[in-house]
């Protein structure tokens, strides 16, 4: 049902663009006699609707699940003009597009729109401040509006692209961002702009998120991810492409068409995605001393664990995010170099550690992981390799991966045999249907007589 309503809506919008007036639509949509009875029935069947629909259902329009807040971020501002080409200034054009987009969005009931700047003279806020502003407004979506340019005076490159957050750290923001971007691009494509695709731009300088994954390069993508808001950046057209300028950037009508296309794409995104309605839980904040987390109710965690964006974090007594090793209640945890609590195998320096799945506590002693046994040294948690003696029993942890040895292993110049529980065999024992003898050192006897029995070159008893 939702899909049908949406297609109906798209038809309405498309017609609206053609007719230039939404008032004419109900007449057109309800107009009979434009198709044969058979066609009408076929169409109705495809839509799985009764042939005779109640009139009010036909007029139904898509509805928002709840009121939404959209924050528009017209690119650049003040002395930052963005890209320019003659009298075409990205800063000014982006503001016009933003106003048209806002005007269009506000035609929809339940939509509140804010902009990160309202004129061309105010200085451009920092990217994190613009995202902070969006978060304070309760944004469900942040859309930054730009025009593209290549490095040269003119170019044959043309069309639109939208940058959305990568899927690292908070994959939901990547997923929602992609869907919003795709929806906007579809509308811009409808104006004739070539669709250059939804794009991710990763940081190139090694910057990472709290879990150590590569961060987004663009501030709008990056900071909004840390606020739990999908933030996308629309490059509408190329300001240094003569064709793009003539067709899309030369008149107020053209700029309005861009703004309306953005708005339509934004609204379709909300209609199509029940998960696009953001529940604000809190936001990452930082200063020169470190990171902290501000909850929605303006409190913040200090001296405690907090689950954020699917990861566990620990905040010190002042509320700053802790990183690295942390001892709490006689247990050690590794919070990662970037803060997120690590679970499973992790190498720190030259040593491997095992942080228990579920609670992150550093394991000591024997641990089974993926069906194999490992030994974590009591006291420091280092993964043990080589010989291990427990009571009278010897074990061997394979160099390199720490796997507990089972069965035959050649260590140095000698052969050793370990039973299924990893215990080194000594004396007589049976393996693979044959009898062997190992000395007290564990080394297998071969080419010799023991207790009157002859052992062959491979160590097996020769009856
Ligand atoms: Zn720009």
Per-residue pLDDT of the chain (463 residues; tens, 9 = 90+): 344 444 444 443 343 333 333 333 333 333 333 444 454 445 444 555 555 555 555 556 788 999 999 999 999 999 999 999 999 999 999 999 999 999 999 999 999 999 999 999 888 888 889 999 999 999 999 999 999 999 998 999 999 999 999 999 999 999 999 999 999 999 999 999 999 999 999 999 999 999 999 999 999 999 999 999 999 999 999 999 999 999 999 999 999 999 999 999 999 999 999 999 999 889 999 999 999 999 989 999 999 999 999 999 999 999 999 999 999 999 999 999 999 999 999 999 999 999 999 999 999 999 999 999 999 999 999 999 999 999 999 999 999 899 999 999 999 999 999 999 999 999 999 999 999 999 999 999 999 999 999 999 999 999 8
pLDDT of residue 34: 41
Distance 286 CA to ligand 1 centre (A): 25
Distance 107 CA to ligand 1 centre (A): 27
Please name the residue ranges forming H helices in 108-170.
127-136
Distance 349 CA to ligand 1 centre (A): 42
Task: Report how far residue 258's alpha carbon sits from residue 90's, in angstroms, rounded to the nearest whole number.
Answer: 14
207 DSSP 8-state letter: -
pLDDT of residue 417: 98
Distance 81 CA to ligand 1 centre (A): 8
Distance 83 CA to ligand 1 centre (A): 7
- Sign for the pseudo-dihedral over CA of 20, 24, 29, 35: negative
Q: Which residues contact 40 (CB under 8 A, 6 or more apart)?
A: 51
Task: Report how far residue 198's alpha carbon sits from residue 163's, in angstroms, rounded to the nearest whole number.
Answer: 6
Distance 204 CA to ligand 1 centre (A): 19
Task: Report how far residue 260's alpha carbon sits from residue 255's, in angstroms, rounded to the nearest whole number.
Answer: 9
By DSSP bridging, strand 68-74 and strand 111-115 are: parallel
Distance 1 CA to ligand 1 centre (A): 39
On whether the CB atoms of residues 83 and 94 are closer than 8 A, the answer is no
Distance 282 CA to ligand 1 centre (A): 28
Distance 424 CA to ligand 1 centre (A): 68
pLDDT of residue 62: 83
Distance 28 CA to ligand 1 centre (A): 40
Q: Select from 168, 153, 182 the least CA-distant residue to 241.
A: 153
Distance 165 CA to ligand 1 centre (A): 17
Distance 122 CA to ligand 1 centre (A): 16
Distance 350 CA to ligand 1 centre (A): 45
Distance 76 CA to ligand 1 centre (A): 6
Q: Select from 241, 235, 71, 240 the least CA-distant residue to 145.
A: 235
Distance 233 CA to ligand 1 centre (A): 9
Distance 434 CA to ligand 1 centre (A): 77
What pTM, to 2 d.p., does this model score? Answer: 0.78
Distance 259 CA to ligand 1 centre (A): 16
Distance 406 CA to ligand 1 centre (A): 62
Task: Report how far residue 223's alpha carbon sits from residue 225's, in angstroms, rounded to the nearest whole number.
Answer: 5
Distance 84 CA to ligand 1 centre (A): 10
Q: Select from 113, 309, 111, 267 the least CA-distant residue to 179.
A: 267
Distance 90 CA to ligand 1 centre (A): 7
Distance 164 CA to ligand 1 centre (A): 15
pLDDT of residue 38: 52
pLDDT of residue 191: 98
Neighbours of 213 (CB within 10 A): 15
Q: Residue 427: beta bridge partners?
A: 438
Distance 237 CA to ligand 1 centre (A): 11
Distance 146 CA to ligand 1 centre (A): 4
Q: Select from 367, 364, 341, 345 the least CA-distant residue to 354.
A: 345
């Amino acid at each position: 049902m939702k899909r049908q309503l949406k297609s109906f809506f798209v038809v309405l919008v498309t017609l609206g663009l053609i007719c230039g007036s939404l008032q004419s639509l109900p007449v057109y949509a309800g107009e009979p006699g434009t198709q044969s009875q058979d066609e009408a029935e076929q169409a109705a069947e495809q839509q799985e609707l009764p042939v005779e629909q109640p009139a009010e259902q036909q007029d139904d329009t898509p509805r928002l699940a709840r009121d939404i807040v959209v924050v528009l971020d017209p690119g650049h501002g003040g002395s930052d003009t963005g890209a320019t080409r003659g009298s075409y200034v990205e800063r000014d054009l982006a503001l016009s597009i933003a106003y048209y987009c806002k005007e269009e969005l506000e035609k929809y009931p339940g939509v509140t729109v804010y902009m990160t700047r309202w004129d061309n003279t105010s200085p451009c806020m920092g990217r994190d401040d613009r995202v902070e502003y969006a978060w304070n407004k309760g944004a469900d979506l942040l859309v930054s509006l730009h025009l593209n340019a290549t490095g040269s005076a003119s170019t044959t490159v043309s069309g639109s692209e939208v940058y959305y957050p990568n899927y690292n750290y908070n994959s939901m923001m990547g997923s929602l961002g992609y869907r919003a971007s795709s929806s906007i691009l579809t509308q811009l494509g409808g104006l004739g702009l070539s669709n250059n695709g939804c794009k991710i731009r990763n940081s190139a300088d090694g910057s990472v998120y709290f879990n150590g994954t590569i961060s987004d390069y663009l501030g709008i993508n990056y900071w909004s991810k840390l606020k739990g808001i999908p933030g996308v950046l629309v490059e509408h057209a190329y300001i240094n492409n003569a064709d793009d300028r003539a067709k899309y950037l030369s008149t107020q009508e053209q700029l309005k068409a861009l703004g309306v296309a953005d708005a339509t794409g934004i609204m379709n995104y909300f209609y199509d995605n029940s998960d696009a309605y953001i529940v604000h839980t809190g936001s990452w904040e930082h200063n020169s001393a470190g990171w902290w987390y501000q909850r929605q109710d303006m409190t913040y965690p200090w001296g405690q664990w907090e689950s954020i964006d699917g990861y566990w974090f620990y905040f010190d007594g002042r509320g700053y995010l802790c990183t690295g090793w942390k001892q709490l209640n006689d247990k050690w945890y590794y919070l990662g170099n970037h803060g997120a609590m690590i679970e499973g195998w992790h190498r720190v320096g030259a040593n491997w550690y095992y942080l228990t799945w579920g609670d992150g506590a550093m394991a000591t002693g024997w641990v089974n992981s993926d069906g194999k046994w490992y030994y974590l040294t009591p006291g420091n948690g280092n993964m043990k390799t080589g010989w291990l003696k427990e009571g009278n029993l010897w074990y061997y942890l394979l160099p390199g991966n720490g796997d507990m040895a089972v069965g035959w292993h050649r260590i140095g110049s000698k052969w050793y045999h370990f039973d299924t529980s990893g215990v080194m065999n000594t004396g007589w024992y049976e393996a693979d249907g044959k009898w062997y003898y190992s000395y007290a050192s564990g080394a297998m006897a071969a080419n010799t007589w023991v207790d009157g029995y002859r052992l062959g070159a491979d160590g097996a008893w020769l009856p």
